[in-house]
Structure 1
């Protein structure tokens, strides 16, 4: 263990994943304030929604730590979910620190780095389950946990000022089917040694009891799939390899062969096989050949459980998938939960499937076909009983989750609790835990394949146009600034009713634009930019009068 100096501090800094579920990006710093060394734990993404039109992927903003990139000792990844590793391939060039992961996670990460052309440059060190890493003053022990993906790890981070247990995502599953159960003995030993702080998953803090075991899901899927007659599709998270395995074995028990539908399914299956999982199942049927099988002899394992527009199941529901179709007498099982915010696209997807005559099975009407990968309150209480930390630092949750988690930890007699937001630097030691600094923390949008600022002009204009509509005005002037043709006006996304036909409204707007030009005098008639500004202002005022909105107005002035 490194020696401790009088000025040394141990700090925790979330730049993503605190006050939100997703986009996990956690930093631990050690040393004097002017010369801290850092490790990064996870570097994930979140997804766009109705408030970010055109943006599917959102990244954490690494600006703060980028300025200290030369003092980053390593990026350690707890597991292979997108909200924990999805940003690595885009943000690694801004940090260029060594990467550490267990074999399954490393397989997935290599594929992502290959797609970005970084595989040769970004070095990944594979760490075995239960392995150790020494990074400057940090000594890291991987703790085997259970979750909804292979090889989930907690991390015991030992420093001269104390030990932190960073749980990552976890649950307590006595029978996870794939991989070992939670290493409770290791956590108890850490508790006996003394844990300064536990940085812990808060996702299900409002849910009583236990999340449930993956073995229970398998027990529910086997009779359900066995009793269906037509073609069967099952939608689940591709990363939940244990669920994939359960579906496959339920299909085989029913005499069905399995076709994977969706790129993520193929990628995760390849990663699982690379570490020895799913070794004894039958070969998958290519979706191009699956239609040759009788309906009661095939099962499609599909991506798209969250209603993603371009995923396999949405294309099947639209009838646009080139190889897979479902219809009357067929069934679709949603072996997944509804992620908050995805309610509308999932409902739309399910309605489209139902309209085709497909019978739907969801966790709402068949609760046993899905269990969460995150700890409920009884599991949280058990983890605190094993670890016995001095400080509880809730993470992986919205604000209400973090505050409830802190209150729960207080009820469990944890001496201190702190609930940072993204950008809040928490000093864990020496002294009492407290927020000592606020650093820049924000989001970057992947928009049209480009990484753009959170409040960039393009998205702001897109939002404005989506709500207010667009008006395009063009006018042709001669050399003296007299109107030769136009103004011509076109609208996009603006309403009309029986009392105001489209032509009448356009004529009114054209008159407003013409008057704006006629009011201009002298040299202003020679200034195209001034004319465009005057027309745009006039059109916006008229739009406010007609519709109560101020649309985006694009004005073009041509000269002859």
Structure 2
């Protein structure tokens, strides 16, 4: 996910505001966002949020974080269309000043003269940003590649980049994703030709899953469907959202026939081409629901073909494997980037990086958009390509670009937020920590019902849920018996002390757990004391309604 801040004269601009997707270590959470604490406290000095393109890791957090920032937002038409749909869904569209910047347009915010410079990527209207200030120009590349035959938009022109190099680039903030990959990233046109060859040989249904924001791939698939005389069925809400935005802004043909998942059942299998979300194995993605038989309208069976037309994002291997293995159990043929040419990256390989550095000739190279090893390699490679110097920054580093050489001069608070239900919480919040603990260790709940004299009215109720080693072990019954004995053995004074009872119950439960499991499940003890004026019937009813704290 991306969130970048540039400051000059006490004022700030933000470039991009994206999300990433949660992994298995965060049960119940789908997305993770950057914590904007620092700039939230400086929001009165935030001049605007500029978006380079419409991928989720660059725009996905706008609707979630804008209420904390409350600044103008700037984006090109296609990006604005997708952001607007998210803002509308969040009930914020009328509140957010969303400014549409023309392709190759410009914006002036305080001392920042911002120019949008087109560059090829896998999505329409990707732009680098030239940030001109009174002391120099910074070039923020955004995500990019150099595709000589792009499916969406025009090939990248070197002219504006060379012009910047002639004027002098103080710092190049550049994509590092494919710095280890030699040569070029490849062309989307070549992927289209390879996919068409595969689809043309299929005899049953064909389901292609890709990133919903990859408009270039979607456009290729639409052309393939026409060439192979198949009907396009879009499956997944985000796929529809992207296609609607692309049609509205002229990047896809609005006259193209697009069918819904409901329509799929009325067409012969050999005439279907499904375009699905869920290429990373997301449980609620269309491909996962189809694979596990949870989709209400679409299924795949023996003789059908599933194509995963995307790269595997590190950390998603298990989720993707789970979906692909489930498809395999139904004898669905599976094609991936590992065995066929069905995906090309939207990020620059080494030869493309070399071209960018030759065009711009920066004084300072600042690698971004990659893991630590990518940033380190890019910093070394930039020096080989003629950059005056290079520096590797980490999240929260405050990098001074002028005066003097680039130098890290401080650090600002950073962190990650999780969307837990409808609420943003810290990634290490107590609720999420407890959920992780429950995921691995389960939960034990003990309910104690005492009368006004501190005597047990009923045997303790012990529930073990998901605790390793306790299944079919008789643990609950034994724990109830031993807890009963230990409470009755307490002196009367301690039976009137909730803390003493709580400690006794926990000691007993942990002692009984020790031979069964290595884990330490949370133990919730609920002590209920009844007033002296309760009737016997009320007591019995209360005993049957014991509650469990979770």
| TM-score normalised by L of structure 1 | 0.92
1:96-152, CA deviations, whole angstroms, 9 ceiling, x for partnerless residues? 000000000000000000111100000111001111110001000111011111111
CA displacement at 1:510 relative to structure 2: 2.8
Structure 1 residues 541 and 411: CA distance shift in structure 2, 3 A: farther
CA displacement at 1:490 relative to structure 2: 1.4
Q: Structure with the greater relative contact order (CA < 8 A, sep ≥ 6): 1 or 2? A: 1
Matches within 5 A, 1:305-454: 305-366=279-340, 368-454=341-427
User: 1:45 touches 1:58 (CA, 8 Å); kept in 2?
Assistant: yes
1:526 to 462, 486, 496: 496
1:547 to 517, 521, 536: 517
Q: Secondary structure at the match of 1:251?
A: helix
Equivalent-residue separation in structure 2 for 1:370 and 1:516 (angstroms): 65
Q: Secondary structure at the match of 1:28?
A: strand
Equivalent-residue separation in structure 1 for 2:51 and 2:386 (angstroms): 30
Query: What do you get for the CA RMSD once the two structures are aligned?
Result: 1.6
User: 2:364 touches 2:389 (CA, 8 Å); kept in 1?
Assistant: yes
Look up the match of 1:69: 43
User: 1:305 touches 1:334 (CA, 8 Å); kept in 2?
Assistant: yes
CA displacement at 1:523 relative to structure 2: 4.2
1:502 to 467, 473, 479: 473
2:11 to 33, 37, 41: 37
CA displacement at 1:543 relative to structure 2: 2.5
2:438 to 465, 469, 472: 465
User: 1:191 touches 1:387 (CA, 8 Å); kept in 2?
Assistant: yes
CA displacement at 1:474 relative to structure 2: 1.3
Q: Which runs of 4+ in 1 moved over 6 A?
A: none
1:178-215, CA deviations, whole angstroms, 9 ceiling, x for partnerless residues? 11221311111000100000111111111111110111
Structure 1 residues 363 and 281: CA distance shift in structure 2, 3 A: farther
CA displacement at 1:325 relative to structure 2: 1.8
Q: Secondary structure at the match of 1:221?
A: helix
CA displacement at 1:488 relative to structure 2: 2.0
Equivalent-residue separation in structure 1 for 2:499 and 2:52 (angstroms): 55
Which ranges of structure 1 fall in alignment gaps of 5 or more residues? 1-22
Structure 1 residues 187 and 378: CA distance shift in structure 2, 3 A: same
1:110 to 84, 92, 97: 84
Equivalent-residue separation in structure 1 for 2:177 and 2:489 (angstroms): 61
User: 1:474 touches 1:486 (CA, 8 Å); kept in 2?
Assistant: no
Look up the match of 2:535: none
Question: Are 1:227 and 2:201 matched, yes or no?
Answer: yes
1:65-112, CA deviations, whole angstroms, 9 ceiling, x for partnerless residues? 111100000000000111001101010011100000000000000000
1:223-245, CA deviations, whole angstroms, 9 ceiling, x for partnerless residues? 22111111111111111111111
- Mean alpha-carbon deviation: is it higher for 261-270 or for 521-530? 521-530
How many residue pairs match? The answer is 530
- Mean alpha-carbon deviation: is it higher for 545-554 or for 212-221? 545-554
Look up the match of 2:154: 180
User: 2:454 touches 2:492 (CA, 8 Å); kept in 1?
Assistant: no
CA displacement at 1:161 relative to structure 2: 1.5
Look up the match of 1:19: none
| TM-score normalised by L of structure 2 | 0.93
Question: Are 1:46 and 2:20 matched, yes or no?
Answer: yes
Look up the match of 1:119: 93
Q: Secondary structure at the match of 1:372?
A: coil
User: 1:226 touches 1:251 (CA, 8 Å); kept in 2?
Assistant: no
Look up the match of 2:539: none
Q: Secondary structure at the match of 1:502?
A: coil
Structure 1 residues 454 and 320: CA distance shift in structure 2, 3 A: closer
CA displacement at 1:370 relative to structure 2: 0.7
Look up the match of 1:152: 126
CA displacement at 1:218 relative to structure 2: 1.1
